[in-house]
Amino acid sequence: MRSKLNLILCIISLVLVLTQTACLRNKAQVNRLSYFPNLKDTSFKLASANFEPTIQEGDILYVGVTSLDPVSSGLFNSSNSLNPPANYGVVLTSNTTPGYVIAKDGNIRLPKISPIYAKGKTKSELTTIIHDSLLSFLKEPVVFVRFMNYRVTVLGEVSRPGTFNIPNERVSILEALGLSGDLTIYGNRSNVLLIREVDGVKEVHRINLNSNSLFGSPFYYLESNDVLYVEPNKSREFTSTTAPQIIPIIFSSLSILIIIIDRVFR
């Protein structure tokens, strides 16, 4: 009788240990799901507070020009429509985005003026160059430049993966994740992959969303065509195995074993 009691106590102890382990694992998992778990009331100076995206090959730019001569100004605005004249900018169809495309050589080509090397420049820099180039053709020109295809892509363990257009041409990592519906509970918050193309070369950077250093990171703001990939965490790996199916079987087996032992030693 005593041996029976000892055996039952051993089984109960095993069940309690397994339960406690599961609880601790769950608590640790909850902590990993939090952004910046150690962040207290404070303020941060962003490393890229004055962030302005640079123009890259393949970008499509709206270039608006006005002056005291509206007719002459209209020639420079023609590529911002879906039917630009031949030999200027790019010939567009109804399925494409209107604007001036940055060519493979990095130049933007506007009517009347020589090609302007735009790759690597900011909108402000390009605006100034275009303005100065137009002074010999237009009186008191006013130039406005904006991106027509500013977008970022978010993939992996997020609620709504996809490519998102950014109308205000500035988006942080946290905002991009918000557009994608935030990370799922299976997203690895400590190792998010940022893929960025610079001068034809793919750069890969690792981002830790649990670290306060994110706010001072030069990658806090995303460039156009950046890709964020959220890797799965160990919980996703765990659920993709047979372990979740095995654990209930183990507990069921223990229950049956207790019943058998009870009958054998009755």
Q: pLDDT digits over 232-247, tens only?
A: 887 655 555 555 555 6
Specify the amino acid at residue 182: D
Among 11-20, 144-153, 172-181, the least confident range: 11-20
Tokens 């799965």: give the residue: 232
Given a cut of 90, whether residue 116 has pLDDT beyond it is yes
Cα separation, 26 vs 140, in Å, equals 66
Q: What is the pLDDT of residue 84?
A: 43
Given a cut of 70, whether residue 92 has pLDDT beyond it is no
Given a cut of 70, whether residue 265 has pLDDT beyond it is no
Q: What is the pLDDT of residue 6?
A: 58
CATH second-level architecture of 60-147? 2-Layer Sandwich (3.30)
Mean pLDDT (whole number) for 26-44: 56
pLDDT category of residue 200 using cuts at 50, 70 and 90: confident
Mean pLDDT (whole number) for 180-196: 92
Entry pTM: 0.66
CATH superfamily of 33-51+150-232: Outer membrane lipoprotein wza domain like (3.10.560.10)
Segment 209-234, tens digit of pLDDT: 988 888 888 899 999 999 999 998 87
Say if CB 169 and CB 156 are below 8 A apart: no
**pLDDT, averaged across the chain:** 78
Mean pLDDT (whole number) for 44-61: 79
Q: What is the pLDDT of residue 228?
A: 96
Q: Which two tokens stand for residue 87?
A: 């030999």
Mean pLDDT (whole number) for 49-62: 86
Cα separation, 76 vs 63, in Å, equals 8
**Where do the structural domains in the chain lie, given as residue ranges?**
2-25+239-264, 33-51+150-232, 60-147
pLDDT category of residue 1 using cuts at 50, 70 and 90: low
One fold for both 33-51+150-232 and 60-147? no
Say if CB 101 and CB 91 are below 8 A apart: no
- Name the nearest CA neighbour of 89 among 80, 97, 78, 100: 100
Say if CB 79 and CB 89 are below 8 A apart: yes
- Other CB atoms within a 10 A radius of the CB of residue 241 amount to 9
Q: What is the pLDDT of residue 156?
A: 93
Q: What is the pLDDT of residue 27?
A: 47
CA 118 to chain centre: 25
Given a cut of 60, whether residue 22 has pLDDT beyond it is no
